[in-house]
Amino acid sequence: MQLCLVGINYNTAPLAVREKASINVERLAESLSSLRRCIYHGVILSTCNRTEIYMSGSDSATLEKAGLRFLESLTGDGGVSCADFNYILKNIEAAKHLYRVAGGLESMVVGEYEILGQVGQALEAAEKAGMADLLLSRVFQGAVQAGRRLREETGISRNALSISSIAVNLAEEALGRLVNRRMLVIGAGEAGRLVVKVARDRGVSRIAVASRTHRRAAALVQKVGGTPVGLDSLPQELAAADIVITCAGAPHRMLGAEQIEKAMQSRQGKPIVIIDIALPRNVEPEVGSIPNVSLRNIDDLTSIYESNREGRLNEIGMAEGIVEDELIRLADWWKTLEVRPLVSALMARAEEIRDRQLNKTIKKLRPLSAEEQESLEAMTKSIVNKLLKEPIQYLKAEGDGEHARLISELFQLDAEKHK
């Protein structure tokens, strides 16, 4: 059984490509259905910094082509393509990458908590769609286990920043202390909740939360504070805000240059900081060229990522040791998975011979009681199991292709029937 990963992330692809490939929660079920047209077993992991397709099957070349075809279907329109930006990893290297992702080692903010939940949600969605086979389920479950161990046994996530908190940091860098500042948050999901929470802790005096549905904005502010507003109130809110942070999972731009220019006319030259941490982006890039508007996006977090990583080098070393330990467990399990059809074929062949010979013997004996027949049945099964115990253990421990081929030929087995 082969595992193949095809993906793009913030290290390999520019923002324009990543946002094309981004798949939010609302589109995940539909996207899995599209992936099924390319390959039968697959999991999609899409976050603000990556879109990765994990697939399993018998032929790695077929998996690779399917993953590339699906990823290209996301990014190929409009002259933007993933062809020059993707990476491909296979088998244990693909699993290792996922384990590192779940542990926050591949994140822009090293040790972030959010990614662990996103890995679990990706598997859950694939299982619901019937696309996660035994290998994908085990690899993703192992990644979640590795991620939990990293956070419990190392300090990799101690005082870790989130993308949302870094967005507030960027606003503070631009404006100084945030006490008595006014903020508009567009987006009422988890990222929006974290933005509001951090902003309140920093002393932002008025926080307005806008969402496509007023109900979501109202539910968020009820938990963490702020004032819910409708999208129809954006002109007034933009005119009043010092800081705008956008994190809505919208498939289209929510703030355009014309809209911001009108708001700036009302502001009489007062500067505004707009930080777009959504993927796809919520703000047209042209907004950044408007006078007195400072526009930042998720790629502007790079310098903070570097300093964050530098400060966690010791913890990263310990975390990577845990990843290697968990990968050894996965590799041992994977080896048994590879020989499982052969073991099943061997057991089935032995049971076929045992059953045939037992029936021949019983026919030659005097009529036996039910208890006597059960005793003979149990004895013959015990003999077969004891004879096969050591060969099966050897297969599971040393079952590479050559050993498997030899056993298959020796006993004339057809393992394909038992897959």
Count CA within 13 A, CB hemisphere, residue 35. 30
Sign, CA torsion 173/175/180/185: negative
Beta strands 272-276 and 293-297: pairing type?
Answer: parallel
Contact 2, 95 (CB under 8 A): no
Residue 38 appears among annotated catalytic residues: no
Q: What is the DSSP string of 72-137?
A: HHHH-GGG--STTT-EEEEHHHHHHHHHHHHTTTTSSSTT-SHHHHHHHHHHHHHHHTT---HHHH
Count CA within 13 A, CB hemisphere, residue 405. 3
Contact 54, 149 (CB under 8 A): no
Backbone angles phi, psi at 51, to 5 degrees: -135, 120
Backbone angles phi, psi at 52, to 5 degrees: -130, 140
Show the DSSP H helices in 23-59 as ranges.
25-36
Contact 196, 209 (CB under 8 A): yes
Looking at 4, 38, 48, 82, which residue is catalytic? 48
Q: Which residues are catalytic?
A: 48
